[in-house]
């Protein structure tokens, strides 16, 4: 049995994994899919003080509270920053990092460094500390790559504003033990909005092994649009 810890991205909640978690569990694995502070069942905690460090605390504290080991830590989108800092804090508990269409930072970088369009979103923040979700666009872009009307309606029920502080706080990757953790990158290669540019994955992982990059032919929220295919890839992760 493996332990999968699924971390949602900006604006979403842990419910976005509702179609994936049962598939991993049915294969005999333990699954955690928490909502980060400010989202889902923690939406009432949304405030200007919530930042990347808050979300790193959320996940690191869950790992320690549940005494989880050999964790396959999956981060979607913004959560690539979260899982990187979590691995830096508790590397001995992480077996594998999965960057799911995610930001992949270097030490000291913010979301703005990894994806400069983040600064434009911050500049447009209405009250200065939070950013509303992207608006729905015409297919094939839809809402975070989701185009089915029923799926869009469901997705809307889990979206919250994103605190600006999450995009401004830097990732900490100063623990050499983090480099030993294997990584897998899963890219959603459907149509992307203008301004969203993915960094190329270096050919060699920090642990010295060849990079592993898999693709899904769908939009950004693949856990909603292709949950079975995503689950199959996650079950292939070596740990």
Domain residue ranges in the chain: 3-236
Each residue of 104-134: pLDDT tens digit?
999 999 999 999 999 998 998 778 899 999 8
Q: What is the pLDDT of residues 47-91, one digit of tens each?
A: 999 999 999 999 999 999 999 999 999 999 999 999 999 999 999
CB atoms within 10 A of CB 168: 15
Q: What is the pLDDT of residue 166?
A: 97
Instruction: Report DSSP state, residue 112.
Output: H
Element (H, E) at 187: strand 182-188
| Tens of pLDDT, residues 201-232 | 999 999 999 999 999 999 999 999 999 999 99
- Tally the C-alpha atoms within 13 A of residue 123's C-alpha that lie toward its C-beta: 6
Catalytic residues: 77
Rg of the chain over all Cα atoms, to the nearest angstrom: 16
Q: Output the pTM of the full model.
A: 0.97
CATH superfamily of 3-236: Alpha/Beta hydrolase fold, catalytic domain (3.40.50.1820)
Residue that wins the pLDDT comparison between 126 and 185: 185
The pLDDT assigned to 153 comes to 97
Q: Which residue has the higher pLDDT, 216 or 195?
A: 216
- The predicted pLDDT at position 220 comes to 96
Q: Does 239 score more than 80 pLDDT?
A: no
Residue 228 is encoded by which pair of tokens?
Answer: 């079975």
């Amino acid at each position: 049995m493996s332990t999968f810890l699924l971390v949602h991205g900006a604006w979403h909640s842990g419910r976005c994994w509702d179609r994936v978690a049962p598939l991993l569990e049915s294969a005999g694995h333990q699954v955690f899919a928490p909502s980060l502070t400010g989202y889902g069942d923690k939406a009432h905690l949304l405030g200007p003080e919530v930042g990347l460090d808050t979300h790193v605390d959320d996940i690191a504290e869950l790992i320690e509270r549940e005494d989880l080991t050999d964790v396959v830590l999956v981060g979607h989108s913004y959560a690539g920053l979260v899982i990187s800092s979590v691995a830096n804090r508790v590397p001995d508990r992480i077996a594998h990092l999965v960057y799911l269409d995610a930001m992949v930072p270097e030490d000291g970088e913010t979301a703005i460094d990894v994806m400069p369009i983040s600064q434009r979103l911050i500049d447009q923040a209405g009250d200065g500390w939070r950013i509303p979700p992207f608006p729905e666009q015409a297919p094939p872009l839809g809402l975070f790559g989701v185009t089915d009307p029923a799926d869009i309606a469901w997705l809307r029920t889990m979206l919250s504003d994103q605190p600006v502080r999450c995009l401004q706080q830097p990732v900490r990757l100063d623990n050499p033990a983090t480099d030993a953790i294997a990584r897998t990158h899963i890219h959603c290669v459907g149509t992307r909005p203008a301004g969203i540019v993915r960094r190329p994955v270096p050919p060699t992982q920090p642990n010295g092994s060849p990079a592993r990059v898999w693709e899904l032919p769908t939009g950004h929220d693949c856990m909603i649009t292709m949950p079975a295919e995503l689950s199959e890839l996650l079950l292939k992760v070596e740990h």
